[in-house]
Amino acid sequence: MSDWGPVFMAVVLFILLTPGLLFQVPGRHRCVEFGNFQTSGASIMAHTLLYFALICVFLLAVKVHLYLVFEKKMADWGPVVIAVVLFVLLSPGLLFQFPGRRRVFEFGNMQTSGIAIMVHTIIFFGLITIFLVVIGVHIYTG
């Protein structure tokens, strides 16, 4: 079983203690400023020390733990892998754009249009249907 407690606490504290989000110590004009979305070297140092102290308290003294228990079954990563690969390959303008702005096909122009997005979506739908429904690609992990 994986202990997600340290991950959860580290992420929550990172968000809460990011200088300038909720507060900043020391502030630019006062000792403490709230929600100013500013930072400085001194405030990063102060927030780092506060972060270190709190993460030690929660993980070493309080011993926060969070275990996720799932019944053991195999995960099918096939749809995820196929969808992500097709998303990248068919993103209009990355490898190609169909239709292009000046030609029918344009390659690597890093541009797109509404019609190209629609055409690439139709191509994506067709290919993912072929791979997942017709062929039935599966990648199982235990």
Rounded Cα distance between 117 and 119, Å, is: 6
Does some domain include residue 117? yes
Does some domain include residue 56? yes
Q: Average pLDDT, whole number, for the chain? A: 83
Same structural domain, 52 and 108: no
How high is the pLDDT of residue 104? 94
Same structural domain, 41 and 96: no
Q: How many domains does the chain have?
A: 2
Answer yes or no: pTM beyond 0.85: no
Per residue in 85-111, pLDDT tens? 888 888 888 889 899 989 999 998 887
Per residue in 17-32, pLDDT tens? 898 889 999 988 999 9
Same structural domain, 80 and 117: yes
Type of residue at 90: L
Same structural domain, 91 and 137: yes
Type of residue at 71: E
How high is the pLDDT of residue 72? 54
Domain of residue 126 covers 75-141
Does some domain include residue 103? yes
